[in-house]
Amino acid sequence: LSTIAEAPLAPLAVTLGDPAGIGPETVARAWALRVEQGLPPFFAIGARAAFEAIGFRQFAPIGDPAPAAELFDRALPLIELPAAEPVAPGRPDPAGAHQAIDALELGVGLARNGVAGALVTGPVSKAQLQAIGFGHPGQTEFVAERCGVSEANVAMLLVGGGLRASPVTIHEPLAEVPARLTSELIMARGRAVARALSRDFGIAAPRLAVAGLNPHAGEGGALGREDLDIIAPAIAALCAEGVDAMGPLSADTLFHARARSGYDAALCMYHDQALIPVKTLAFDEGVNLTVGLPIVRAAPDHGTAYAIAGRAMAEPGAMIAAIRLAAECARRRRDAS
Amino acid sequence: LSTIAEAPLAPLAVTLGDPAGIGPETVARAWALRVEQGLPPFFAIGARAAFEAIGFRQFAPIGDPAPAAELFDRALPLIELPAAEPVAPGRPDPAGAHQAIDALELGVGLARNGVAGALVTGPVSKAQLQAIGFGHPGQTEFVAERCGVSEANVAMLLVGGGLRASPVTIHEPLAEVPARLTSELIMARGRAVARALSRDFGIAAPRLAVAGLNPHAGEGGALGREDLDIIAPAIAALCAEGVDAMGPLSADTLFHARARSGYDAALCMYHDQALIPVKTLAFDEGVNLTVGLPIVRAAPDHGTAYAIAGRAMAEPGAMIAAIRLAAECARRRRDAS
């Protein structure tokens, strides 16, 4: 058994995301820092033109992941996507959006059949993807569908700065959040997060802190009823299922260091309630982990940053943290199986 | 002129807030730490019973603020409110709620006529105040009314952890926030905050960062229209008036250290958008400053904390920070006048 546990993980698949964004340079930089950052072998998926545009030449084209681990010491293995046009950093185009989706699709497939140890995805632009007819709100929903998991049963878990936080509703206009919030959705996300805490993070008895929707968690109904009518029943039902969940808790006092020591993940009701504390605490190294999937999928918690793309200004910290966390989670799953 | 500038500030009025909360002990503790914390002379307003309940005896009853400065070195001057019943820390009652309002009313009056240099208010319970028929959402709105300033023209400015943030809507159910948000209200709050940055903080050319309402500031309308239709026009109009305002900016990337260095205050659209980052960064020393008033009013940015009241567990850091900040703002106003 110990021989199996010590076997190396299959190399990780890392997509470049939008080739005109900062994905390619953060992946190249993560590879350059592989020794000092202690990163496991990974290979990139994207167009050669994306690396050429930033002057990165130390990649080695591969046809499938098999030779990646051996190549990794001296070059970044790259599964190439065809690109007819050169890439212009900071200037996205439809061809780049298509490459991003193709890389994502290939990466999911390789992770699902186990030849990639986990999937790490580079940043894309939702506007660019929508412009070419991509039918999903983002990469997360696409990955969930390709894995055959309903969107409600996966969760976005942000990890950084000593905090894990998961938004129950995600890319919704704020005005639609109260209507989208149901006890069932809160429970589904809560289950996915609790399971990930034990399966992916190795926490034996995970504790969830559930944020209220309204200021001061509604102050007993004076500032809104959702905390009493929707969130509290979901917490009670989760507890009845054996999930250790507490709340609803006032969101503003939930994220300082002392509060964070009392739980393993915060379940938040909407995007900014989860993302504000994570990015305030860990802007350059926040990781977005999709939990509830049969594969491990992580992403740096930042966007394409077109404004600085190609100028060697992008911080690779979040990409490095995503690769490292994906490998840790994948190892835990493998060792437990 | 320099003689005037160096004249001591009139002593600050500090209300105890709800006598059953942690207000009395944080005020007593701030006084005990007056030398090492470099606090200016202040006097308390509240019931003697609130201090007796926590075993604090080093107070000196006064009838008006005149003798406070001279007494301050050896005792905490106290303007006493009558209390028929003893106070039980952690067990609020209607008599305590009445004392909190009476202290507030007296404190506003003393600050308005200049015999108090500024007003610092201890924490109250909104539920307790509403139970006795208090007709304002909180102390802030009461103070604004007593100062004859419309509620829209004052703003709550949270200060702590290197961040100043002000919520445009405050104690509203989240579902009502989009409807309450108007360009006029954003402008009124923005003006009040910008003026406070120069008048109270001495910033010659204050810069406001305005947060979007929706995730990613609405992503060009894909995630909600308010950022385009309500917030952007308010920012343009503020700029046209000479207020340096930028945005709407994605709220999740607005509060990390690098982002904070680009502005002097963040104008946020709702309670938790402003309070989460401030309390994440500065839980024990956050100050709530009411700007736009003819008086300086500050408060520690925490509640009554009944659960720990009277047990010598309450951190006085926020009360100390509130007293210090109120004095700094009051000195700047005086020196400029």
What does the H/E/C string look like for A128-151? HHHHCCCCCCCHHHHHHHHCCCCH
- If you average pLDDT over residues A10-18, what whole number do you get? 98
| Sole residue written with tokens 């020794």 | A35
Chain A nearest CA to B308, separation (Å) = 15
Question: Which chain A residues are closer than 8 Å to B218 by Cβ?
Answer: 173
Chain B nearest CA to A153, separation (Å) = 21
Question: Which chain A residues are closer than 8 Å to B255 by Cβ?
Answer: 276, 279-280
- If you average pLDDT over residues A3-21, what whole number do you get? 86
- Compare all CA atoms of chain B with the CA of A283 and give the residue at the minimum distance: B256
| Predicted pLDDT of residue A189 | 97
Note whether A255 contacts B224, CB cutoff 8 Å.
no
Of B174, B157, B186, whose CA–CA distance to B301 is shortest?
A: B157
Does residue A107 sit at the B interface (CB-CB below 8 Å)?
no
Confidence bin at A1 (pLDDT 50/70/90): very low
| Sole residue written with tokens 């039902």 | A237
Note whether B283 contacts A258, CB cutoff 8 Å.
yes
Note whether B219 contacts A258, CB cutoff 8 Å.
no
Pair A138, A172: CB distance under 8 Å: no
Note whether B271 contacts A259, CB cutoff 8 Å.
no
For B16-36, b/e burial (b = at least 16 CB within 10 A) is bbbbbbbbbbbbbbbbeebee
| Predicted pLDDT of residue B83 | 83
Restricting to B residues 211-270, those with a Cβ less than 8 Å away from any Cβ of A are 213-215, 218-220, 222-226, 251-259, 270
Quick one: tokens of A337? 């199986």
Does residue B174 sit at the A interface (CB-CB below 8 Å)?
yes
| Predicted pLDDT of residue A6 | 60
Note whether B280 contacts A255, CB cutoff 8 Å.
yes
Phi first, then psi, for residue A98 (nearest 5°) are -65, -45
| Predicted pLDDT of residue A337 | 75
Chain B nearest CA to A49, separation (Å) = 28
- Compare all CA atoms of chain B with the CA of A271 and give the residue at the minimum distance: B215
Question: Which chain A residues are closer than 8 Å to B172 by Cβ?
Answer: 215, 223
Say what the ipTM of the complex is: 0.91
CB pairs under 8 A between A and B: 128
Confidence bin at A222 (pLDDT 50/70/90): confident
pLDDT tens for each residue of A177-214 = 999 999 999 999 999 999 999 999 999 999 999 999 99
Question: In angstroms, rounded to a whole number, what is the distance separating the alpha carbons of residues A186 and A88?
Answer: 42
Confidence bin at B2 (pLDDT 50/70/90): very low
Confidence bin at B6 (pLDDT 50/70/90): low
| Predicted pLDDT of residue B238 | 98
Does residue A173 sit at the B interface (CB-CB below 8 Å)?
yes
- If you average pLDDT over residues B42-60, what whole number do you get? 97
- If you average pLDDT over residues A20-45, what whole number do you get? 98
Chain A nearest CA to B120, separation (Å) = 22
Q: Which of A171, A178, A276 sits opposite B276 (nearest CB)?
A: A276
For residue B1, pLDDT over 60 is answered with: no
| Predicted pLDDT of residue A39 | 97
- If you average pLDDT over residues A11-35, what whole number do you get? 98
Best of B280, B284, B308 to mutate (most A CBs within 10 Å, chain A)? B280
Best of A181, A228, A250, A280 to mutate (most B CBs within 10 Å, chain B)? A280
Question: In angstroms, rounded to a whole number, what is the distance separating the alpha carbons of residues A180 and B37?
Answer: 49
- Compare all CA atoms of chain A with the CA of B256 and give the residue at the minimum distance: A280
Question: Which chain A residues are closer than 8 Å to B313 by Cβ?
Answer: none
Phi first, then psi, for residue B259 (nearest 5°) are -60, -45
Question: Beta-carbon neighbour count of residue A204 at 10 Å?
Answer: 6
Confidence bin at B231 (pLDDT 50/70/90): very high
For residue B7, pLDDT over 80 is answered with: no
Tell me the percentage of chain A whose pLDDT exceeds 70. 98
Question: Which chain A residues are closer than 8 Å to B275 by Cβ?
Answer: 215, 251-252
Q: Which of B224, B225, B276 sits opposite A251 (nearest CB)?
A: B276
For residue A2, pLDDT over 80 is answered with: no
pLDDT tens for each residue of A53-84 = 999 999 999 999 999 999 999 999 999 998 88
Quick one: tokens of A91? 């200037």
Quick one: tokens of A241? 């299922």
| Predicted pLDDT of residue A84 | 81
Mean of pLDDT over chain A: 95
User: Going by C-beta distance under 8 Å and a sequence separation of 6 or more, which residues neighbour residue A320?
Assistant: A30, A33, A37, A39, A285
- Compare all CA atoms of chain A with the CA of B284 and give the residue at the minimum distance: A256
Confidence bin at B56 (pLDDT 50/70/90): very high
DSSP E strand boundaries for A18-58: 42-47
| Predicted pLDDT of residue B204 | 95
Which amino acid would we find at residue B241? E
Question: Which chain B residues are closer than 8 Å to A176 by Cβ?
Answer: 224
Mean of pLDDT over chain B: 95
Question: Beta-carbon neighbour count of residue A132 at 10 Å?
Answer: 14
Chain A nearest CA to B274, separation (Å) = 9
Pair B108, B141: CB distance under 8 Å: no
What is the biggest distance separating any 2 CA atoms in chain A, rounded to whole angstroms? 63
Does residue B170 sit at the A interface (CB-CB below 8 Å)?
yes
Note whether B178 contacts A178, CB cutoff 8 Å.
no
For residue B206, pLDDT over 90 is answered with: yes
Note whether A224 contacts B175, CB cutoff 8 Å.
yes
Question: In angstroms, rounded to a whole number, what is the distance separating the alpha carbons of residues B64 and B116?
Answer: 10
Q: Which of B178, B222, B275 sits opposite A127 (nearest CB)?
A: B222
Which amino acid would we find at residue A211? A
Chain B nearest CA to A170, separation (Å) = 8
The SS3 assignment for B66 reads coil
Chain A nearest CA to B221, separation (Å) = 9
| Predicted pLDDT of residue B138 | 87
